Structure 1
Amino acid sequence: MSEEKKASCCSSSEEVLKDEEVSCCSNAEEEQEPEVNCCSSSSVKEETEANATCCSSDTKRNEANQDHCCGNEQEEVSCCSSSGDVGKSEGLHVVKFEVKGMDCPSCAATIEKGLQKISGIQSVSVQYGTGRMTVAAENEFPHDQIPKHIRKLGFEAEPVDSSKNKQTYKIEGMDCGSCAMTIEKHLSKNPAVQDVQVQFSTGKMQIQHTTSAKEIVKEVGRAGFQASLEGKWGDHNQKAAKGKGISTTTLSGLFLGLGFIGSFTNIPTEFFTAFYAAAILIGGYKPARSAFYAIKSGSLDMNVLMASAAIGAALIGEWFEGAMVVWLFALGNTLQNRSIERTRESIRSLINLTPKEASVKSGNQLVLKAVEDVGIGEVIVVKPGEKIPLDGDVMTGTSSVNQAPITGESLPVDKQTGDIVYAGTVNESGSLEIEVTKLVEDTTIAKIIHLVEEAQEKRAPTQAFVDRFARVYTPIVFTLALLVMIIPPIFGFGTWGEWLYKGLALLVVACPCALVISTPVAIVSAIGNAAKNGVLIKGGTFLEKAGTIKAIAFDKTGTLTEGRPKVSEVHALGVSEDELIRVTRTIEEHSTHPIAKAITTYASERNMLAIDGEDFQAIPGKGAKAKLSGVKYFAGSPKLFEEMQVPFSEIKDRIDQLQKEGHTIVVVGTSTKVLGLIAVADTIRDITVQSIQKLKQVGMQEMVMLTGDNKGTADKIARETGVDRYFAELLPEDKVSAVKKLQAEGKNVAMVGDGINDAPALATSDLGIAMGGAGTDTAMETADIVLMADNLEKLPHTIRLSRKAMKIIKQNVWFSLVTKLAALMLIFPGVLTLWMAVLSDTGAALLVILNSMRLLRNK
């Protein structure tokens, strides 16, 4: 315990020690305020030195400034509970949080330092290993604001017991990121709301509150948007709401059309002006209401600008222009929302992959149950042609299963007893009995959906830059518009009406809607496409990084190769090959070594049965032995037979040749003669060579192999797979050095491994790619990109997709900027009318969305 703070706390079993200004605590206790000593409820008052006093639980005492006692009532004293919670003392409130986003212990230190600088926070303890944080703050400090402070530091935090109070809502009516900001600001002013986050890209709102769901929906409605709680009743209400009556956009357009037709007749001007006014009121009600709440919450979004333009146009007598602004804005929003919904549906469609019910075996009968009601250990039956409803292990039956919805694999995978199957995959041939291993919320497909939705909410660097630009651009152009309305006419340059009109057009151009949409819609589309093809991209940052990769480093075993050794050659001396294999199988059958398994599998596939044996023993590091018909037989490395001085000169050259080619040799014989050799080698995956060729076709500059094998083996595998370069005889830590060497050569490097053994190298690389995510939760959690299948088949598609996404994002950004610049230049000569300004803005946004949606169709 540190002596600097001169503080101590006592557990219920701990006695206070006599020591100057300090008494001792148990290991479970934490330190508290300076020069204060605390006793547990069972402590009895002890004689102590001048600055240390302890009291029983029913005593309260404060005889001197540095002589305090803790009782049921606390006064100017720091006291510790028996559990030793940090900071549990007079005037302090302790809250525990879960922190997300930490990737190393230095992140924990950053959070601690950042929060300790905030006035009112007394102590912060962040545990990187558990992702937990304990904060002790003054009672009057608003602890519900801590997540916001954490977010400023680049992380996410939520109280450990708050997840039950956190709800997710679908939001309709947002046409750009500024709408999301308006909702956030509006709701954050409500005292019943502790935390709110609105994601434009996913159309979802995460909110923690103490009021009813009905009140939240109502509050969002006041801000001009529609909210529905995720779940059955929310979806039902939303569909019901959609089906009601004629839309305001259609009605507004109808009145606009009547007014426009009336302007060509002899009817009084006031008559068709009334139609324009009706079009403005009907179509502009929602934007005006949203604008009111945006201004109230300090936002300057598209609704504010459009409402200002429409009202201004009406005030200067441009009723047609005002009505056209409102209608075009409403029409553009409707089209945008429908298009964006299509990109969001790319993820929601994953949810529909799994059946809602499962046939559960109950005795000799099958009972149909909702998947939510099926527990772990229950047995479900899946007939040919049906989708598998839950993750599990095959108990009986053989079949081929189409795993494309999960892994993206192009061919069905054979399944038999003991194999794992995943929810959402299709049973194509035989009937299967499956023991359920995961609840519906923990299945692989559920985790994919969760991770993809999280990925969509993570902003890419380009998006973050665009958002910062938009926050500066909009107020500048808004201010410029006001100056344009006022300054020129004051100095006699034209009429007030003329400059008011130009200022209103400038207001419309002030909202960078297309620019703000340009990045997130493209990222959502690309991540959605990847997910449907069995690739998890953890966020826009990693999508962008994948597009800049110039070199890929592959772990050899299990990545380029199968990771499962197979018998590659059998060479018998004086006996038949069958007899050699049977003897070897008998010896190796009791071993769990991968080479032993390779030999027994080889024998099983050829129906070569083992011989009766006894005295089975392993020879550590060398092989194994057994007694067959009273004779000792050995199977092991050539070194074992050299030590026993058993001659094998006639096969020595073949052994040397095979070892140079990367084979592992098992010599079989007795203590007097050699019966032959079996060569075992790790085989290259069928898809590896094709994938590497495709990666070269998409412009990858260098493919590198990292392996712990000798140079002979590495050279052979490199030649067979087509990699450009290899690093051999590497220890796990040497792989990190190899990645750093490639980075030092000026390349952006991706590392492909299994996500567990290669974790240091994955973390060091610019982009960590894990294979076989469907089989391991660790791979899904650790890497930046996860290939759900246990092969490289989808890696070329991922690189292609990311590069196309980057290309489309750049197209969108430039198109948006050029459109805005052209509109700004055309305003002052009087070429750009008010309705043309609206059309350019909404039209540009729509084109940007449609361009981004091309990523959904990328094959």
Structure 2
Amino acid sequence: MGSEAKTIAKGIQKISFIDKVKPHVELIAAGLSGVLIAVGWLFDQYNQEADSIIAYLLAFVIGGFFKAKEGIEATYENKDLNVEMLMIFAAVGSAIIGYWTEGAILIFIFAVSGALETYTMNKSHKEISSLMELQPEEALLLINGIEKKVAVSELRVGDHILIKPGERVPADGVIIKGRTNIDEAAITGESMPVSKGNEDEVFAGTVNLSGSITVQVTKASNDTLFQKIIQLVQSAQSEKSPSQQFIERFEGTYVKIVLLVVIAMFFLPHFLLGWSWHESFYRAMILLVVASPCALVASIMPATLSAISNGARHGILFKGGVHLENLSHLGAIAFDKTGTLTKGKPEVTEVIVKNGLDQDTLIWKAASIENHSNHPLAQAIVKYAKQTTGKDLLHPDSLEDVPGWGIKAEIAGEQWKIGKAAFVGRETAENAADPGDVRAKELASQGNTLVYIEINGETSAIIALKDVVREETKVAIDQLKKHGIQTVMLTGDSEKTARAIASESHVDEFFAECLPETKVDHLRQLKTKYQTVGMVGDGINDAPALAIANVGIAMGEGTDVALETADVVLMKNDLPRIAEAVSLSQRMNRIIKQNVIFSISVIVLLISSNFFQFIDLPFGVIGHEGSTILVILNSLRLLRN
């Protein structure tokens, strides 16, 4: 048994070593090719021509294997030539005319640039691979109070699982017992832990930091939010941007043109300019190298992948390069109000109480009555009372709900009415003599909804409630304005409320009393005026508007619904991330533009130098392949924060 265990251990170590080496095999092959070139050059110095050629041939085969394989497979699959084939022709041509060293150097530098491009791809996928490793493979299933360790794939909806401090959450679910702090950085990109208790959602891949919790599983392991994020980013990385699609269409035609010009250069300079056959062939080989659009082809894809990965690491998910590219062209961006610019739930902003009455007691009794209603305003009053008084609520002696108006109740021998102004016998705050009504009028003008309280026939209090603007909204809107983007609010609220919220949130303009279909109409008008328009919403009731916008941005808050409805998803309801996404898009497009201009300039310079016989093959190789390496390195800058 001991020898068997050793054999197994050696096998595991061997597999582990292969797994570690595999991502770097292209770079290793390129390095070995470089060593063989040096060996071939040394043999050449000592006039050992046969040994020198063997070393160069090995450098050709080892260094060029991966790129040649890629080029031949792509040519066979697409029935079209590509830049890899140009490099193969150039290297073989160099060898034919006796320039073994130059041909081998071409293969070596081409192999290095290919290895670097592969490194970029691997680097851009690294965040996704590391995410996939975060989801646990096992979970503690509770069966009649007894813990049983099972594979996560065996969990079913409705199962109860125990998650201890320090463990990762194995499945999406709802806490049914316990309280803890959860690190949700893997989902939202937010480093601050979130406090969770009964009925709160938890997501697979997040970390339980403190207390033990019992969770009821709500989704199968292959349907978790975590899995959907991974699938979405993988899909985005495989989707090509318009710029990339154009370059790939351009590549096939360009390669054919280069080959035709190279063939012409075999003959025309000999007959028209008096060049020797050797010189004509030599210059044709240099043209084959320097005219190849390797750097141009590598100008876009690495930059796009790097930007998508950067966004995913910060909780900004792009569904493809096209949406990332469009963000930098935004002329205007429209926001849904509720749940986007505001918190989405009304909060008590002020309480006005008649002189002589105790505010805490009044709020406590009002909340005891409102606790029997499911209306959002009623629940906001109950929440406020629990926070301010800390008392257990009473049970009214009698209660009558008057739909559309308010609620009547008897409590502690008092007759109460809570509801609209007209419900308590008043038209508006302005028509009453109480000084508090002046303040009530101000609150109403600021977008607050007023709830009136009447006790024993007398108006005793006014409660102001409002869907409060998020703290980060103003910062986010101001950042977008700095980018020169027009900001617009679309809301179903009244003109007065919309005006107040628009002023508070700093948006440039607003449209009030919008139905879902009128939001779509407004977006069409904005697109006519600003060409490229974004829409930010909660991903559910704003789906039509998100669909019509050039870039639909959903406020995720960890909901998988948002993943289905928008082009860009903010995994946390963090509005300033939109400006970050715009900045990332601008950086990406700026780097792509730099790459394209630089690569075209190098190609034109090298072709001109070759025609005037200013450049030799080694310098053509270095200039061409060096430019490819530089544009890839430039793209890698987008992986930085």
TM-score, with length taken from structure 1: 0.68
The structural deviation recorded for 1:748 is: 2.9
Distance of aligned partners of 1:724 and 1:841 in 2 relative to their CA distance in 1, 3 Å threshold: same
Are 2:91 and 2:104, in contact at CA under 8 Å, matched by a contact in 1? Answer: yes
The structural deviation recorded for 1:810 is: 0.9
The structural deviation recorded for 1:353 is: 2.7
Per-residue CA deviations over 1:118-175 (Å, capped at 9, x if unaligned) read xxxxxxxxxxxxxxxxxxxxxxxxxxxxxxxxxxxxxxxxxxxxxxxxxxxxxxxxxx
In structure 1, what is the Cα distance between the partners aligned to 2:187 and 2:489? 27
The structural deviation recorded for 1:787 is: 1.0
Alignment of 1:448-847 (within 5 A): 448-490=229-271, 493-573=274-354, 574-605=356-387, 606-629=389-412, 632-642=415-425, 649-650=433-434, 651-670=436-455, 672-697=457-482, 699-746=483-530, 748-775=532-559, 777-847=560-630
Per-residue CA deviations over 1:199-232 (Å, capped at 9, x if unaligned) read xxxxxxxxxxxxxxxxxxxxxxxxxxxxxxxxxx
In structure 2, what is the Cα distance between the partners aligned to 1:558 and 1:256? 64
Alignment of 1:369-518 (within 5 A): 369-490=150-271, 493-518=274-299
Matched position secondary structure for 1:570: strand
Matched position secondary structure for 1:375: coil
In structure 1, what is the Cα distance between the partners aligned to 2:145 and 2:130? 35
Kindly provide the amino acid, as one letter, of the partner of residue 623 in structure 1.
Answer: G
**Could you tell me which residue of structure 2 aligns to residue 255 of structure 1?**
36
Are 2:175 and 2:198, in contact at CA under 8 Å, matched by a contact in 1? Answer: yes
Per-residue CA deviations over 1:625-646 (Å, capped at 9, x if unaligned) read 2233565421110011227999
Per-residue CA deviations over 1:470-494 (Å, capped at 9, x if unaligned) read 1221110111111111333355721
Are 2:331 and 2:530, in contact at CA under 8 Å, matched by a contact in 1? Answer: no
Unaligned runs of 5+ in 2: 1-13
In structure 2, what is the Cα distance between the partners aligned to 1:241 and 1:426? 31
Are 1:768 and 1:785, in contact at CA under 8 Å, matched by a contact in 2? Answer: yes
In structure 1, what is the Cα distance between the partners aligned to 2:628 and 2:286? 17
Per-residue CA deviations over 1:679-713 (Å, capped at 9, x if unaligned) read 2112121222222233334x233222222333333
Per-residue CA deviations over 1:574-600 (Å, capped at 9, x if unaligned) read 532123213312321111110000011
Counterpart of 1:367 (choices 148, 161, 167) is 148
The structural deviation recorded for 1:648 is: 5.4
- Identify which range, 537-546 or 762-771, moves more after superposition: 762-771
Are 2:352 and 2:461, in contact at CA under 8 Å, matched by a contact in 1? Answer: yes
Kindly provide the amino acid, as one letter, of the partner of residue 194 in structure 2.
Answer: V
The structural deviation recorded for 1:747 is: 5.4
Matched position secondary structure for 1:263: helix
The structural deviation recorded for 1:827 is: 1.6
The structural deviation recorded for 1:289 is: 5.7
Are 2:474 and 2:505, in contact at CA under 8 Å, matched by a contact in 1? Answer: yes
Distance of aligned partners of 1:366 and 1:596 in 2 relative to their CA distance in 1, 3 Å threshold: same
The structural deviation recorded for 1:336 is: 2.7
- Identify which range, 842-851 or 363-372, moves more after superposition: 363-372
Kindly provide the amino acid, as one letter, of the partner of residue 665 in structure 1.
Answer: L
Alignment of 1:106-255 (within 5 A): 247-255=28-36
**Could you tell me which residue of structure 2 aligns to residue 280 of structure 1?**
60
Per-residue CA deviations over 1:505-561 (Å, capped at 9, x if unaligned) read 222234322212211211111111111111111111111111111322222211111
Distance of aligned partners of 1:235 and 1:783 in 2 relative to their CA distance in 1, 3 Å threshold: farther
In structure 1, what is the Cα distance between the partners aligned to 2:301 and 2:316? 19
Distance of aligned partners of 1:614 and 1:800 in 2 relative to their CA distance in 1, 3 Å threshold: same
Kindly provide the amino acid, as one letter, of the partner of residue 546 in structure 1.
Answer: L
In structure 2, what is the Cα distance between the partners aligned to 1:766 and 1:256? 52
Are 1:663 and 1:679, in contact at CA under 8 Å, matched by a contact in 2? Answer: yes
In structure 2, what is the Cα distance between the partners aligned to 1:679 and 1:436? 40
Distance of aligned partners of 1:680 and 1:371 in 2 relative to their CA distance in 1, 3 Å threshold: same
Distance of aligned partners of 1:422 and 1:644 in 2 relative to their CA distance in 1, 3 Å threshold: same
Are 2:414 and 2:456, in contact at CA under 8 Å, matched by a contact in 1? Answer: no
The structural deviation recorded for 1:796 is: 1.7
- Number of residue equivalences: 623
In structure 1, what is the Cα distance between the partners aligned to 2:61 and 2:191? 55
Are 2:124 and 2:305, in contact at CA under 8 Å, matched by a contact in 1? Answer: yes
Matched position secondary structure for 2:211: coil
Are 2:120 and 2:302, in contact at CA under 8 Å, matched by a contact in 1? Answer: no
The structural deviation recorded for 1:246 is: 11
In structure 1, what is the Cα distance between the partners aligned to 2:197 and 2:219? 19
Q: Which has the higher contact order (CA 8 A, sep 6+)?
A: 2
In structure 1, what is the Cα distance between the partners aligned to 2:534 and 2:418? 41
In structure 1, what is the Cα distance between the partners aligned to 2:131 and 2:244? 25
Per-residue CA deviations over 1:588-613 (Å, capped at 9, x if unaligned) read 11111100000111122222333332
The structural deviation recorded for 1:808 is: 1.0
Alignment of 1:50-89 (within 5 A): none
TM-score, with length taken from structure 2: 0.90
- Identify which range, 270-279 or 763-772, moves more after superposition: 270-279
Distance of aligned partners of 1:790 and 1:491 in 2 relative to their CA distance in 1, 3 Å threshold: closer
Unaligned runs of 5+ in 1: 1-232
The structural deviation recorded for 1:821 is: 1.4
**Could you tell me which residue of structure 1 aligns to residue 124 of structure 2?**
343
In structure 1, what is the Cα distance between the partners aligned to 2:427 and 2:532? 52
The structural deviation recorded for 1:670 is: 4.3
Distance of aligned partners of 1:613 and 1:241 in 2 relative to their CA distance in 1, 3 Å threshold: closer
The structural deviation recorded for 1:832 is: 2.9
Give the structure with the larger helix fraction.
2
- Identify which range, 383-392 or 270-279, moves more after superposition: 270-279
The structural deviation recorded for 1:498 is: 1.0
Counterpart of 2:91 (choices 299, 310, 313) is 310
In structure 2, what is the Cα distance between the partners aligned to 1:290 and 1:415? 50
Are 1:276 and 1:320, in contact at CA under 8 Å, matched by a contact in 2? Answer: yes
Matched position secondary structure for 1:686: coil
In structure 2, what is the Cα distance between the partners aligned to 1:644 and 1:486? 97
Are 1:478 and 1:506, in contact at CA under 8 Å, matched by a contact in 2? Answer: no
